[in-house]
Amino acid sequence: MAIVLGHTIHLWNVNPDTFLKNERWVRHELCHVRQYDENGFFSFICKYLYQSIRYGYTNNKFEVEARKAESA
């Protein structure tokens, strides 16, 4: 799995090679990097958590946007 904090993509249980070869996945996580930039670091974390609690992971608008970015 991958978690983005600011401009850093943290990977768990996956090596960077595998991650980087998966274009859709990279685009997904890069979209989150952009969301940090657009919202500001703490603001994005707050909004992301709010969206997750309110709408769930799948319907979180930031995840919806990141999934769209996968095939962009």
SS3 11: strand
Residue 66 makes contact with Zn ion by CB under 5 A: yes
- Rounded to whole angstroms, the Cα distance separating 69 from 62 reads 11
Instruction: Name residues whose C-beta falls within 8 Å of residue 13's C-beta, 6 or more positions apart in sequence.
Output: 1
Considering the complex, state which of residue 16 and residue 61 has its C-beta at the smaller distance from Zn ion: 61
Considering the complex, state which of residue 42 and residue 57 has its C-beta at the smaller distance from Zn ion: 57
Q: Closest approach of Cβ 3 to Zn ion, in Å?
A: 9
Q: Closest approach of Cβ 2 to Zn ion, in Å?
A: 8
Provide the binding-site residues for Zn ion, judged by CB under 5 A. Answer: 63, 66
